[in-house]
Amino acid sequence: MSARSPFSCVLWDVDGTLVDASEGILRRLTITLEHFGRTPPVRGELSRWIGPPMYESFQVNVGMTPEQATEAVTFYRGLNKSEGYTVSARLYPGVGELVHQLHAAGIPQSTASSKPEVQVVALMDHFGLAPSLEAMVGATLDERTLSTKADVVREALRRLEAAGADTSRPILIGDRHHDVEGGADAGVPVIFVRWGFSWPHEADGAQAAVDDVDQLRALLLIDDSSESDASAGV
């Protein structure tokens, strides 16, 4: 199949978009918050934690001071490192194949995640997506130097451009309002995926919203052979 894209490059959020790491996140959050004398979330409350930087979430969700949040992030990341960054994580069905199909069509791609970059790289390597990505961008380990979605998106575009990619028509794929808002701040439109950890209203402001990978593929890839057949009357 000969395919092309209406977009010159594709940026991917990770948690809730490419990867479901919710089982491990809930387990580490429970251990961390109990360690610091706070009430851990139940699974239904994970949408409050997956998306924004953990440093921010510890302050907003359980009222930690910036200093306490820094300690909690360090503790949480220590658990993650000792467990292994890929434990309990899985790809959402079909997304890996779509990443590879975009690469085969010559579309430059990068991650753009508020997850620490060392974890993003480990996950992309683990799931075999790294060879199809021109860049793998995430937050700095302290989640403060580089962490907001807008800044991460800008960094992903910068690295793609440095690699020689055309960044004139970018698109960001994400599952939270942080992606929509961060994309808008960076001047990048967003396709919202509903299989992550969002509430329905979070898609407001996105260029489009999709329920499954087939719908996403239809927006990202155009089959040239089908168009040729149609124009020839086949």
The string of pLDDT tens digits covering residues 125-181 is: 999 999 999 999 999 877 667 889 999 999 999 999 999 999 999 999 999 999 999
Which tokens hold the place of 13?
A: 């959020």
Q: How confident is the model at residue 232 (pLDDT cuts 50, 70, 90)?
A: very low
User: Which residue, 83, 105, 130, sits at the end of a domain?
Assistant: 83
Query: Are residues 29 and 14 both part of a single domain?
Result: no
CATH number for the domain that contains residue 175? 3.40.50.1000
Query: Are residues 9 and 34 both part of a single domain?
Result: no
Q: How confident is the model at residue 231 (pLDDT cuts 50, 70, 90)?
A: very low
Instruction: List, for residues 74-133, the tens digit of each pLDDT value.
Output: 999 899 889 899 999 999 999 999 999 999 999 999 999 998 899 999 999 999 999 999
Residue 76's pLDDT is what? Answer: 94
Query: Are residues 149 and 225 both part of a single domain?
Result: yes
Taken in order 174, 178, 182, 184, the sign of the CA dihedral is positive
Query: Are residues 200 and 215 both part of a single domain?
Result: yes
Q: How confident is the model at residue 197 (pLDDT cuts 50, 70, 90)?
A: confident
Query: Are residues 79 and 99 both part of a single domain?
Result: no
| Enclosing domain of residue 72 | 22-83
**CA–CA gap between residue 103 and residue 221 (Å, rounded):** 11
CATH number for the domain that contains residue 29? 1.10.150.240
Query: Are residues 48 and 98 both part of a single domain?
Result: no
Residue 71's pLDDT is what? Answer: 96
Residue 225's pLDDT is what? Answer: 66
Helices (H), 84-223: 95-104, 117-126, 149-162, 177-185, 213-220
Query: Are residues 53 and 134 both part of a single domain?
Result: no
Q: How confident is the model at residue 234 (pLDDT cuts 50, 70, 90)?
A: very low
Instruction: List, for residues 27-78, the tens digit of each pLDDT value.
Output: 999 999 999 999 988 888 877 888 778 899 999 999 999 999 999 999 998 9
Q: How many residues can be counted in the chain?
A: 234
Residue with tokens 């997304």: 95
**CA–CA gap between residue 63 and residue 123 (Å, rounded):** 30
Percent of the chain topping pLDDT 70: 94
Number of domains into which the chain is organized: 2
User: Which residue, 83, 103, 133, sits at the end of a domain?
Assistant: 83
Look at residue 25 and tell me whether its pLDDT is greater than 50. yes
Residue 230's pLDDT is what? Answer: 42
Residue 1's pLDDT is what? Answer: 53
67 Cβ partners below 8 Å, 6+ apart?
none
Average pLDDT value for residue range 171-194:
97
Look at residue 23 and tell me whether its pLDDT is greater than 70. yes
User: Which residue, 38, 68, 83, sits at the end of a domain?
Assistant: 83
